[in-house]
A = this chain, B = another copy of it.
Amino acid sequence: MEINSLEWREEKSRVIFDCRIFSIRESICRSPEDEARTFTVMDTADWAIVIPLIEGAGGREFVMVRQWRHGSRELSLEFPGGVIEKGEDVFEAARRELREETAYWAEKIRKLGEFRPNPALMSNTVHIFLAEELRHTGAQELDEDEFLEVSFVMPQEVLRGMGKAPFVHALMGSALALYLREYPR
């Protein structure tokens, strides 16, 4: 089978729902066999996730944040991250989210890769960064409705716990895979 025989092309698209944080679009596409089908797509902002590495008493540690998640209605222990503002540089967004959520500034930051959080339903991208040479800058800067607790966790504890509470956020699993490529056990 040729690659081309898997590709669809979009014919038309219209927004059918819009709220503060995302919009829903109906997309009419032609299949490889030239049949028209309608798909539903969510458009929302791109995100940045930062894996912050720090030298702790027992060796290398991640700086993580514990927070309530309103979609799944549970506590989740995660790498810091958040929405990239319109026009904001992705590296700047990563550094900003790290500083706001953990009060650490990264002297050294590099991108490990990017993913589509949900390419079947969503059009956006998440960019994954590794932050090193951290410097404490003072206090967290949280939004009024953000409640975050900073936590230092050993990589092997995160790997052992990944895929069950509190390590339930799938994008943190994706980020961990890229970390394990950089730093195999």
Interface residues of A (CB under 8 A from B): 1, 3, 5-8, 10, 16-17, 19-22, 24, 27, 29, 31-32, 35, 37, 39-42, 44, 66-76, 112-123, 125-126, 128, 144-145, 147-149, 159-160, 162-164, 168-178, 180-181, 184-185
Most buried by B among A123, A168, A170: A170
Closest B residue to A160 by beta carbon equals B181
Min distance, Cβ A33 to any Cβ of chain B, angstroms: 8
List 9 additional A-B contacts (Cβ < 8 Å) besides A31-B147, A71-B116, A116-B170: A8-B73, A10-B73, A22-B40, A31-B145, A72-B122, A74-B116, A113-B164, A116-B169, A159-B180
